[in-house]
Structure 1
Amino acid sequence: MSGNSREAGRTTSSRVLALLGAFSTARSQMCLSDLARRSGLPITTAHRLINDLVDWGALERLADGRYAVGLRLWEIGCLAPRQRDLRTLALPTMQDLYVTTRENIVLATRDDDQFLYLEKISGAHSARTGTEVGGRVPLHATSVGKIFLAFSEQDLLCAVVDRGLTRFTRHTIVMPGRLGQALCHVRQTQVACAYEELAMGISSVAAPIFAPSGELQAALSIELRSSADVQRLIPAVRTAALGLTQRLSDLPPRDRGASRTGVPIELVHQAVA
């Protein structure tokens, strides 16, 4: 869709994207007024564009009058190479890891200055963590986030520190120096742990998945109740991540997906100095 908007500086495409961008894992179903407010559009404009999106299949109108993402948009999203290829590669390993641990198994990839959950496997007895496929959370308060901070470029760490480290629980690392020390340990051990740093009662352990070039590709994590023994799961998640790194090296280059440049250990110190 294209064309000029009656609102200064906004094309029809930008308005449609604003409507789609209003949805999130926390707001997966919204009424017309909420969509208009979150997209910054007048009600009449939002209503007209939403009708077009419903007709095309990008949105679905629910029985109660609210709107949700439609199957057509989901089908297109599934075509994203990084998501499709990583999920296909990792699912067998994730299933094996779940059978062994009976805990939440999560695959994540970086999306700008946050990370995106690509896949999750859990069961009836797994801890309820609030993690959802497609969800995003801050980088400094989770084990997966620490993996991305430790093995990505210096600019990412600097940006996260400059914005301030939000406290979610009394255990959240909010001092740049302490975060720097934690990331140095992550790079040395290639394992990251988070103990009730995002939510009380929930801990996690993660390991990096590297591309054949040595650059960070993704991260694999186990999320569990904080009363469980996190340390005993470190060998399992580390071995699984190493296996996925090896499987990536066996793929043809076109199937490996995007990766991120690792940051040298000394730059972690500089970024938080």
Structure 2
Amino acid sequence: MTEGQLRKRTSGIDRTLQMLDILADKQVPMTVYELAKSAGAPASTIYRLVDELVERDMLSRREGNVVWLGPRLMRYGMVYRGHVDAIALAEQVMGKLARQTGETVQICTNDDDMMLVVAMAGGEGHFRISSEVGTRVPLNWTASGRLLLGHLSEPERIARFARLAQPSRTGLAETDPKVLSDQAAADFAARLAVQLNASEFSVACIAAPIRDAKGVCIATISIVTADRQVEMRGDELAAAVQAAALEVENAVGH
């Protein structure tokens, strides 16, 4: 294979991943023109790649001539997810915690320096949140986001927050890298982080880290509820979420 052919193949792989990322981030089907515009790529290139990916079930065409993720990706995702024991166990504990507290519970991980909601169980209460499975938000917006970087060294935490911190829609999320670094370290040491109104008004997040054998935060389990619930039963919810995280760690031998 010549160097020119290698560059062409690499470019095709990069464009493919870029399109998949765009669809995952937007979470809606898009036309090929919209994909090309978002990717900043020639429409002819995107049309060719889309045809190839549809043929291989990596993408699918839907009514209205729009493109969406394909069934082959689901198979890959299910195989990957089935081998992440901690996440599978966390989902079981998540359901139990939602029933115990009556609140919405989420499992979150770090996805390319964004907090990703990978699983969620709704509680029996009337409070509902807008973040569903697949939602990605900046790490500095949430209690879980801080915990996901809490195990890093101080220079690493500061560098990461300096690169990724963004103002939130409410304007209440901290953006100073040093302040975020100190909060993350303290939260991780306490095995508990609480955040109010940073990503959405009147919404609170109470999170605990799920650590691997090396002490790395591989995921978080969190209760997402109305901010008034923190005032009314904050200690109860904090103890419950910490116990749930520890149950997962113990179950997988961490």
Q: Is the structural similarity TM-score above 0.5?
A: yes
> Partner residue of 2:249?
245
Deviates more, 1:188-197 or 1:234-243: 188-197
Q: Distance in 1 between matches of 2:85 and 2:173?
A: 33
Higher helix share: 2
Q: Distance in 1 between matches of 2:52 and 2:178?
A: 51
Q: Distance in 2 between matches of 1:225 and 1:131?
A: 14
> Partner residue of 2:238?
234
How far did 1:91 drift?
Answer: 1.8
How far did 1:125 drift?
Answer: 4.1
Q: Which amino acid aligns with 1:241?
A: A
Q: Distance in 2 between matches of 1:245 and 1:8?
A: 45
Q: Distance in 2 between matches of 1:172 and 1:98?
A: 26
Q: Distance in 2 between matches of 1:126 and 1:56?
A: 43
How far did 1:83 drift?
Answer: 6.7
Gaps of 5+ in 1: 251-273
Given that 1:103 and 1:126 are in contact with CA atoms closer than 8 Å, whether structure 2 keeps it comes out as no
Given that 1:89 and 1:244 are in contact with CA atoms closer than 8 Å, whether structure 2 keeps it comes out as yes
> Partner residue of 1:225?
226
How far did 1:18 drift?
Answer: 2.3
> Partner residue of 2:133?
133
The within-5 A match list for 1:90-239 is: 90-123=90-123, 125=125, 127-163=127-163, 165-168=165-168, 169-229=170-230, 230-239=234-243
Deviates more, 1:73-82 or 1:35-44: 73-82
How far did 1:142 drift?
Answer: 0.4
State the percentage of identical aligned residues: 26
Pair 9,247 (structure 1): closer, same or farther in 2 beyond 3 Å: closer
> Partner residue of 2:45?
45
How far did 1:243 drift?
Answer: 0.6
- Size of the aligned set, in residue pairs, is 247
The reply on whether 1:67 has 2:71 as its aligned counterpart is no
Given that 2:150 and 2:217 are in contact with CA atoms closer than 8 Å, whether structure 1 keeps it comes out as no
> Partner residue of 1:29?
29
Pair 82,177 (structure 1): closer, same or farther in 2 beyond 3 Å: farther
After superposition, what is the alpha-carbon deviation per residue over 1:202-225, rounded to whole angstroms, capped at 9, x for unaligned?
110000112233332221111111
After superposition, what is the alpha-carbon deviation per residue over 1:109-128, rounded to whole angstroms, capped at 9, x for unaligned?
22342232221112574533
How far did 1:58 drift?
Answer: 1.1
**Length-normalised TM-score, structure 1:** 0.79
Pair 4,61 (structure 1): closer, same or farther in 2 beyond 3 Å: farther
Q: Distance in 2 between matches of 1:83 and 1:225?
A: 34
Q: Distance in 2 between matches of 1:135 and 1:164?
A: 17
Q: Distance in 1 between matches of 2:187 and 2:10?
A: 44
Q: Which amino acid aligns with 2:202?
A: G
Q: Distance in 2 between matches of 1:214 and 1:134?
A: 25
Gaps of 5+ in 2: none
State the secondary structure of the residue aligned to 1:173: coil
Deviates more, 1:45-54 or 1:210-219: 210-219
How far did 1:50 drift?
Answer: 0.8
Given that 1:36 and 1:43 are in contact with CA atoms closer than 8 Å, whether structure 2 keeps it comes out as yes
After superposition, what is the alpha-carbon deviation per residue over 1:152-202, rounded to whole angstroms, capped at 9, x for unaligned?
344542223423743222432233454344334313421000011111121
